[in-house]
């Protein structure tokens, strides 16, 4: 029987597309591992209150300007 030799190094050179695909897959796996270990803290404290206040002011201004424009139109 013929003996098949196992290559000791990496496999045969891959095509550029396959090599790029593997590189992207490896980067995506690393990114997913980093993201899975992170937790976004819930927005609390004075910063969250300030953000809600700014949001309320912006929405109030939008509604006010919309009714003002409707009043001008007729």
What secondary structure does DSSP assign to 41-53, as a single string?
A: PP--SHHHHHHHH
Q: Which two tokens stand for residue 12?
A: 């045969």
pTM for the full predicted model = 0.41
Predicted confidence at residue 49, as pLDDT, reads 87
| Residue-level pLDDT at 8 | 53
pLDDT tens-place string over residues 16-55: 889 999 999 999 999 888 888 777 776 677 788 899 999 9
CA distances from 52 to 24, 39, 40, 60, 66 (A): 39, 22, 18, 12, 21
The structural domains of the chain, with segments of one domain joined by +, span: 45-74
Per-residue pLDDT band for 1 (boundaries 50, 70, 90) equals: very low
pLDDT at residue number 37: 76
């Amino acid at each position: 029987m013929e003996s098949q030799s196992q290559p000791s190094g990496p496999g045969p050179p891959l095509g550029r597309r396959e090599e790029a695909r593997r590189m992207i897959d490896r980067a995506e796996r690393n990114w997913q591992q980093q993201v899975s270990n992170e937790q976004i803290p819930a927005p609390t404290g004075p910063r969250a209150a300030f953000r809600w206040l700014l949001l309320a002011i912006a929405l109030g201004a939008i509604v006010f300007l919309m009714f003002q424009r409707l009043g001008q139109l007729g």
